[in-house]
Structure 1
């Protein structure tokens, strides 16, 4: 089995699409500001995709809206502070970074529909091995 992507179901596709492309800085595999689907493939790791709630509701009639707190998308960067400066310059509002377990520095923000994102920087691995670059 292979986990091919994490997909967020969104109501306002153009707004959320522009957030991930323009604020977060992910590159879409193809341009489609009006959806109904797009995938963003980062330099490393899993694909993050957006799918129009309206289109999925035609296939899944009992599709229910979520509150954004049932999932968390973690994005790893080489330098949290540097990336947060970029995000805030693009209009994002992020929590102050904190260090957890002495191994990971994190900050949190929400996309325009309330999905929770974690921006993380690995400071040390569990095994003590060198931390690989995020990009």
Structure 2
């Protein structure tokens, strides 16, 4: 497993985005000031802080029977084989709130909650994002 991001679920996306980009100086992977999702990094490494509109995430999980309205963040871990990870963790007693399923055309994801209810997202990347090209 590889830690890829800590994702903050935010209500005022533009304000939080500008704070991380303009005040802290993190580099956006792509410009998305109005959301609903952005990923910003302090350097060229893979780990990042990601922002996601809280209502969008709550809607996604609500469709699956999980209330995400109270969540403020989640840990995101990249795995090579999501199905194998799901099977292994389930055998150890993990209860997933969202079983492996596509999220867009670039990845598959699954979600579970730790004993305190904190969300953990497991991602299997199917295709890498194209690097931004300078104009």
Pairwise TM-score range, normalised by the shorter structure: 0.3 to 0.5
Structure 2-normalised TM-score? 0.46
Q: Which structure is larger by alpha-carbon Rg, 1 or 2?
A: 1
Q: Greater strand percent: which structure?
A: 2
